[in-house]
Structure formats: C-alpha cells, structure tokens
Amino acid sequence: MKIICIGRNYLDHVKEMSSPLPQDPVFFLKPDTALVKNNKPFYYPHFSAEIHYETEIIFKICKVGKNIQEKFAHRYFEEIGLGIDFTARDLQRKCIEKGLPWEISKGFDNSAPVSKFIKKDKFSDLQNISFRLDINGKSVQMGNTKDMIFTFPRLISHVSQFITLQTGDIFFTGTPVGVGPVKISDQLRAYIKDELMLDFRIK
Ligand code: MG
C-alpha cells in the first residue's frame, strides 16, 4: 500500500506556510514504513530538532482505480479516520530552499500514525467534519473539512490521473492552520467530533 498526502488544502494553513494558493491538489507520498497503528508511541528521530504535528482527516481506498471521474469517486472509499502527518520542519525548510524533494522531511519511518477507521455513512456530510488535536490536555489544532480547498472526490480524481489507486491505500487530506512542534513526553490525543481517535505519546 501507499500513503498519499495532500499539501496545501486549507487556506489558512497555506497562508501560515507563506505558500502560493494551489490551482490543483498538491500531493506527495509516504512509504508504508511510515505507518504507525494502535496508538504505539512516536520516537523522536535523531535527524531533526523540529518535528511538527499536522492533524489530518484520512480515508482508505477500497478498490482499484485510475482516471476516476469526480462523480464516481465516492465509490472508491468507505471509511475515514484521523492521522498525523509528522514533518521534520527543519529538514523540509532546507529542501524547499534548495529546490529539492521533501521526502526526508515527510517520508521517514513512523511519520504517519493513523487511527482506527469509521464507516463514512456514519457522517451526514463528509465536507463538514470537525476534528482537533490536544497536546497534554490543551487543544492546539482544530479543523473542519468544510474548509478544504479540494474535496475528497476532487483529490481522488486528481491523484488517480497520475497514479493507480489500490485497495488499502490511505489518503491524508491536508492539515488546517495551527501546526506546531512536539517534544519528548508529550501526550497527543486527537478527536473526530468528540470521539477519541488517536492517543499516544512522544518518546
Ligand atoms: Mg500534511
């Protein structure tokens, strides 16, 4: 499986990163070795001094497809969840300055903790789902999928023009405003609405 991450999908986050507004979805990949499941701890990597959380709604691809039209895209995912797109911001900044790919800042081992998945039909409107991250009991990032620049179907349609989607692939749909650093011993709890989805520690 592969992890497809959307960048710059919330206007206020685009502004906070001083990035240009995208005309089409921007995406990058993480390898399957980035996955962390079952609330296992995140071990702070030695190669960065500035690991940031990015809290994101995720969804799982349920059948193979390519060149998927937007109007049929809803058939390709059934479940959503929550993930953290951990980013080595210091390394990313250096990559951007040099015009290099971002992989070392985004695709490193354990950079993608994911929650359990919930059937999407539990939600009356997928483009109106609130979510948040608390660190040590304090809310640090809040978002709502209504603020996404590109909807779930648009993301599926766009990415599948270039890359075949396969069963089990996971999309990270972008982070809202409010990214920030984590440090060793932090307790991260992330929620969809008021349901606890992720609960793990930085070690
Ligand atoms: Mg992200």
Residue 11 sits in a domain whose CATH number is 3.90.850.10
Protein residues placing their CB within 5 Å of the ion ligand 1: 54, 85, 175
CA of 174 to the centre of ligand 1 (A): 5
CA of 173 to the centre of ligand 1 (A): 7
Over residues 171-185, the pLDDT tens digits come to 999 999 999 999 999
pLDDT at 63 over 90: yes
- pLDDT tier for residue 62 given thresholds of 50, 70 and 90: very high
Over residues 147-167, the pLDDT tens digits come to 999 999 999 999 999 999 999
Return mean pLDDT, the chain: 96
pLDDT cut 90: percent of the chain above it: 92
Q: What pLDDT shows up at residue 19?
A: 82
pLDDT at 16 over 90: no
Q: List the structure tokens of 152.
A: 């779930």
Q: List the structure tokens of 157.
A: 């349609």
Please state the rounded mean pLDDT for residues 79-95: 98
CA of 176 to the centre of ligand 1 (A): 9
CA of 53 to the centre of ligand 1 (A): 8
Give the pairing type, strands 112-113 and 35-36: parallel
CA of 81 to the centre of ligand 1 (A): 15
pLDDT at 34 over 90: yes
Which helix or strand (DSSP H or E) is residue 97 part of? Answer: helix 89-98
CA of 121 to the centre of ligand 1 (A): 25
Is there a contact between 171 and 116 (Cβ–Cβ < 8 Å)?
no
How many structural domains does the chain have? 1
Q: Listing from the earlier edge strand, what are the strands of the sheet with 118-119?
A: 26-30, 3-7, 170-172, 55-61, 77-84, 118-119
CA of 130 to the centre of ligand 1 (A): 17
Over residues 91-132, the pLDDT tens digits come to 999 999 999 998 999 999 999 999 999 999 999 999 999 999
Reference 169, options 72, 85, 79; nearest CA is 79
CA of 85 to the centre of ligand 1 (A): 5
Query: What is the span of the domain harbouring residue 140?
Result: 3-201
Higher pLDDT, 17 or 159: 159
pLDDT at 187 over 90: yes
CA of 124 to the centre of ligand 1 (A): 25
The number of beta carbons lying within 10 Å of the beta carbon of residue 20 is: 9
Q: What pLDDT shows up at residue 20?
A: 83
CA of 145 to the centre of ligand 1 (A): 14
Reference 141, options 112, 181, 170; nearest CA is 181
The reported pTM is: 0.96
Q: What pLDDT shows up at residue 6?
A: 97
pLDDT at 12 over 90: no
